[in-house]
Chain A
Amino acid sequence: MEAEAARPDRRAERAAARRRRDRRGFAIAAASTVLVIGGLTALILTSSGWPAVRETFFNATVFKESFPDVAKAFWLDIRVFLIVEVAVLALGLLVALIRTSRAAAMFPLRLLAILYADIFRGIPTILLVYLIGFGIPALANSDAEGSSTLSWLPTEPVVLGAIALTLSYGAYVSEVYRAGLRSVHPGQRDAALAIGLTERQAMRHVVIPQAVRNVGPPLLNDFISLQKDVALIAIIGVTGEAFQVAQIMASTDFNYTPLLCAAVLYMAVTIPLARMLDRWDRGRVR
């Protein structure tokens, strides 16, 4: 009894020490945040150019006036994004499956898939949008007699823009899928074959579901970039797209605030996606 009473209460001591450590950490974090953020803000607000910037980029009246129109135009961005995303997921998986197949008959397709992934990842997306946006309509142009063998090609800028984005992102996403397919342990395929599945069934029911699950976070990361790159279709004359609408407004009254509206709208989609990605990644590590 006496010996026990004499023993210092280690549990309480450790808890107290931990609380002291936590409090100090919090104080340091708060102080350094105020210092850094405050310093940067002060630097910007006291600069000689700030009043002009505030007027042309952060004009509250212009923001309020232009926001509804830009937001309406942003709906087109969202629709293009969703359609392209579905197409990208399908194309990327198809290319990845072709590249990982081992059948001899697939050789020419495999070669095409490799060429596709290499070439389309090698071209800047903006260039691809230009090339397809202006190149395809030129191909579809009729000759002097008014006929063209390729007249069935699409000439609608928004369709062409969507195709260019699909081709560009499909190449990236095929590589993501390929990494996913490789990440599934070979024992899974063995087990699938051992229960009597065919190679194709093993892929469909065992390997692909796990591959897709393994690459969820990197896929979501590519969604985020795609969502922003939808703005690129403005350069081939797609009208009614958020960036393009904002740009026209900005150039008519020499005030760039509408562009800020567009920026806010893009962030409203991409930041929640990024948070989702973080949570997903954390959940996987567990």
Chain B
Amino acid sequence: MSGTPVIAIEGVTKAFGDRGVLRGIDLEIAEHEAVAVIGASGSGKSTLLRCVDLLIEIDDGDILLDGEVITDPAADPVAVRRRLGFVFQAYNLFPHLNVIDNVTLGITRAHGLGREDAREAARATLARFGLEGREEESPSNLSGGQQQRVAIARAFATRPRAMLLDEVTSALDPELVGEVLRAVRDLKQEGVTMLIATHEMGFAREVADKVGFLHEGRLVEVGPPEQVLEDPRDPETQRFLRRLLEAGRA
């Protein structure tokens, strides 16, 4: 890996009250790289992603975007968030707006595009995620899988430097997981830089260039997926994967 990483996380800690959720995280995501963070619920995966998008303020350490420190307390978080795309576990679509307005809101208000240009860009982005013809519908009329694809389109429409995907399939019925994973695979093929928190081991193996296992606020093991998922060195990773295997999820 050469050049400046798109995202660099350096010694990041975060505690809620006296509960340390992140206890010194170091992780780099290079251009066009997809990094998956796996770990049990409550291990801090979501918190890590939310810290990168500056939705949560970190306690210590720094996060860099294209070599620039974005966690400087004096920096403007809005400008940083405009360069990143975030997809939430529960979609968080805006229920009072129809599908296309969900996508254009950020393009027009945050990125200053005119209404017609924004609609055109939104329509194209929705179409590539298989949502043509659904533009004028209310999000509540869509299936979970479709809603999550709208959320991916909303985050991706402005071509962010990196996409942050927070458990994007965890709220879905099993038969809808595939279509959302297909959308993420698409992003990967296009070379979109991604940081992915996930429970889907098979998916992490397939899409990620690098997998990190997060346990009690520490990345206890980071490496290529075949190594971390098939031949883990850390005893905690071994235990976690064994439990998943027993539950039939790996």
Please report the number of residue pairs spanning A and B whose Cβ atoms sit closer than 8 angstroms: 61
Asked whether, in the complex, the Cβ of B81 is within 8 Å of the Cβ of A194, the reply is yes
Asked if A196 and B86 make an inter-chain contact with CB atoms under 8 angstroms apart, the answer reads no
Asked whether A195 and B92 contact (CB < 8 A) given A190-B55, A205-B105, A205-B109, the answer is no
Structural contact, B92 and A197, CB atoms closer than 8 A? no
Q: Does B96 contact A213, Cβ atoms closer than 8 Å?
A: yes
Select one of A187, A188, A195, A213 contacting B106, CB under 8 A: A195
* Interchain CB contact under 8 A, A191 and B53: no
CB of A206 closer than 8 Å to a CB of B: yes
Q: Decide: B110 and A187 in contact? CB cutoff 8 A.
A: no
For chain A, what secondary structure do more than half of its interface residues adopt (helix, strand, loop), or is it mixed? helix
CB of A198 within 8 A of CB of B106, answer no
Tell yes or no: B78 within 8 A of A by CB: yes
Inter-chain contacts of A197 with B (CB < 8 A):
78, 105-106, 109-110
Interface residues of A in 177-221 (CB under 8 A from B): 185, 187-188, 190-198, 201, 205-206, 209-210, 213
Check if A196 sits within 8 Å of B78, measured CB to CB: yes
User: Given contacts A187-B88, A190-B88, is CB(A196)–CB(B94) below 8 Å?
Assistant: no
Q: Which residue of A lies closest to B110 (CB)?
A: A196
Return chain B residues, CB-CB under 8 Å to A193: 55, 77-78, 81
CB of A25, distance to nearest CB on chain B (Å):
35
- Which of chain B's residues have a CB closer than 8 A to the CB of A213? 96
- B82 lies within 8 A of A191 (CB): no
Please give me the residue from chain B that is nearest to A210 by CB atom: B96
Chain A interface residue count, CB cutoff 8 Å, equals 18
**Interface contact A196-B111, CB-CB below 8 Å:** yes
Contact check: which of A187, A194, A196 meets B90 at CB < 8 Å? A187
CB distance from A211 to the nearest CB of B (A): 10
**Which residues on the B side are within 8 Å of A191 (C-beta)?**
86, 88, 92-94
Contacts of B158 in A (CB 8 A): 195-196
Q: Using a Cβ–Cβ cut-off of 8 Å, how many residues does chain B contribute to the interface with A? A: 25
- Shortest distance between the CB of A229 and any CB in chain B (Å): 31
- The interface centre, meaning the residue of B55, B93, B96 with most chain A CB atoms within 10 A of its CB, is B96
Q: A196 contacts which of B55, B82, B95 (Cβ < 8 Å)?
A: B82
- Chain B residues contacting A194 (CB-CB under 8 Å) are 53, 55, 81, 84-86, 88, 155
Question: Which residues from A are CB-within-8-Å of B96?
Answer: 209-210, 213
User: Which one of B78, B84, B92, B155 contacts A188 once the chains associate, using CB atoms below 8 Å?
Assistant: B92
Decide if A195 touches B105 in the complex (CB within 8 Å). yes
Given contacts A196-B110, A205-B105, A205-B109, contact A187 B81 (CB under 8 A): no
Residue numbers in B under 8 Å from A201 (CB-CB): 109-110
Chain A residue numbers with a CB within 8 Å of B82 are 196
**B154 at interface by CB-CB < 8 Å:** yes
Complex CA–CA separation, A193 to B55 (angstroms)? 8
Interface residues of B in 85-104 (CB under 8 A from A): 85-86, 88, 90, 92-96
* CB pair B94 A206 closer than 8 Å: yes
For the complex, give the distance between the alpha carbons of A209 and B105 in Å. Answer: 14
**Other A-B pairs beyond A195-B155, A205-B105, 13, CB < 8 Å:** A185-B92, A187-B92, A190-B50, A190-B92, A194-B85, A194-B88, A196-B82, A196-B110, A197-B105, A197-B106, A197-B109, A201-B110, A210-B94
Interfacial residues, chain B to chain A (CB-CB below 8 A): 50, 53, 55, 77-78, 81-82, 84-86, 88, 90, 92-96, 105-106, 109-111, 154-155, 158
A-B contact pairs, 14 of them (CB 8 A): A188-B92, A190-B88, A192-B105, A193-B55, A193-B77, A194-B55, A195-B110, A195-B158, A196-B82, A196-B109, A197-B109, A201-B109, A206-B94, A209-B96
